[in-house]
Amino acid sequence: MISNHRIILKKRPNYNSLPLEDDFQYEECPIPELDTGQILVKTLYLSMDPYMRCKMNENTGTDYLTPLNLDEVIDGVGLGVVMASEDSNFCEGDILESYHWPWQKYAVFDVSGFNSLLVNKVDTKLTGKNYTLMLNLFGLPGLAAFIGIRQKAHINPEAKQTMAVSAAGGASGSMAVQISKLEGCSRVVGICGSSEKCKFVADLGADDVINYKEGDLDQRLSEACPHGVDIYFDNVGGAISDAVISHMNDNSHVVLCGQIAMYNTDHEYPPPLSGEIQDLLCTRDITRERFLVLNYIERFQASILQLNKWYKMGKIKCRETVTHGLSKVPEAFIGMMSGRNIGKQIVCVSEP
């Protein structure tokens, strides 16, 4: 007899604190019956993404994220395999991905009519058996880094620019470090929270790496960016970003990718800057436009082709931190929010 399990949101995490394991509940649930226009899927991998923390709040802080409901199964980015199908467009064995994948081992998707847009078939010619590339290089982190840099960084190889990247040892940060070098940035400085991550980021080709938990960040930024910062790929916000922005040159650019340092709060997104930092942006003419990769869906296909080309040539490396078992999802999510991941944090729910 096959059993089924899911993760529900039991309590909303407190504002100003990381989620706790008690906020989630791992529980047994029935395997859903299949009806016409539906498919039964087995979850293979779940992606641990920072935006999910905002969805755990009653007020997500932004209009494009709806809050998760209490006592209901959580859903986020994930992928899995079709086990049975009552819809002619899907076959047993198809590998699918969705931004609304339930944190549940076996689940049913209604794929009739417009609902079919909720799931996409993974292009296995592109990924081979390496399906998790869809959650990493070819998913939100890789696309946010690539499209964010192309749209907002204004890299000009002749200008010998210096770029700083925060959360550089994480999923999108590690991509941003590599892509900015490939796009012609002459000096790339990573900022991250452990010596192991610093080593990883240096191995990716960063010219210098700063562990923000050690020493004086301001002094390290002066040493690492002697000509100031021309581009800042900002994944974190808060005190780290204030320090980087104070080193930015006239007419420089912030790629506002994310503000994870503020996600455990009830701030609106993007969170307000202090008056001092806002003044710096004005007086130095620094651009800092809101950037959301989902506003560029029409560019995904071409971007994936370019990322794949670099990947096949060995010019982009992808690292993952993989946690095993659905019951470990809360631990993996909290770990990612507290910086325990290197590269992309994934949970393997079932082996393919």
Smallest gap from residue 260 Cβ to ligand NDP (A) = 4
**Kind plus residue range of the DSSP H or E element containing 202:** helix 195-203
- Cβ-based nearer residue to ligand NDP, 87 or 97: 97
Smallest gap from residue 32 Cβ to ligand NDP (A) = 30
CA distances in angstroms from 315 to 173, 204, 321, listed in the order given: 16, 9, 20
- Cβ-based nearer residue to ligand NDP, 96 or 177: 177
Per CB under 6 A, 57 contacts ligand NDP:
no
Per CB under 6 A, 140 contacts ligand NDP:
yes
Q: Which DSSP string do the residues of 35-101 spell out, in sequence order? A: -TTEEEEEEEEEE--THHHHHTSSS-SSTT-PPPPTTSB-EEEEEEEEEEESSTT--TT-EEEEEEE
Smallest gap from residue 184 Cβ to ligand NDP (A) = 22
Q: Whole-angstrom distance between the N-terminal and C-terminal Cα of the chain?
A: 20
d(CA 170, CA 164) in angstroms, rounded, equals 14
Say what angle helices 140-152 and 300-312 make with each other, to 10 degrees.
100
- Cβ-based nearer residue to ligand NDP, 52 or 82: 52
Closest C-alpha among 31, 172, 181, 183 to residue 192: 172
Per CB under 6 A, 51 contacts ligand NDP:
yes
Binding mask 11-40 for ligand NDP (x = CB under 6 A): ------------------------------
Say what angle helices 300-312 and 171-182 make with each other, to 10 degrees.
80
How many residues of this chain interact with ligand NDP, rule: CB under 6 A?
33
d(CA 44, CA 106) in angstroms, rounded, equals 10
Question: In 114-182, which ranges are continuous DSSP H helix?
Answer: 124-127, 140-152, 171-182
Smallest gap from residue 25 Cβ to ligand NDP (A) = 24
Binding mask 151-180 for ligand NDP (x = CB under 6 A): ----------------x-xxxxx-------
Stretch 250-289 residues interacting with ligand NDP (CB under 6 A)? 257-261
Burial of 7 (0-12, 13-18, 19+ CB in 10 A): buried
Residue whose structure tokens are 């690492």? 224
Smallest gap from residue 48 Cβ to ligand NDP (A) = 8
Smallest gap from residue 332 Cβ to ligand NDP (A) = 11
- Cβ-based nearer residue to ligand NDP, 4 or 265: 265
d(CA 72, CA 196) in angstroms, rounded, equals 37
CB atoms within 10 A of CB 182: 17
- The one segment of 9-17, 201-209, 246-254, 335-343 that binds ligand NDP by CB under 6 A: 335-343
Stretch 180-239 residues interacting with ligand NDP (CB under 6 A)? 192-194, 197, 235-236, 238
Binding mask 287-316 for ligand NDP (x = CB under 6 A): ----xxx-----------------------
Closest C-alpha among 165, 211, 217, 216 to residue 192: 211
Give me the residues that bind ligand NDP (CB under 6 A), please.
49-51, 140-141, 144, 167, 169-173, 192-194, 197, 235-236, 238, 240, 257-261, 291-293, 336-337, 339, 341, 345
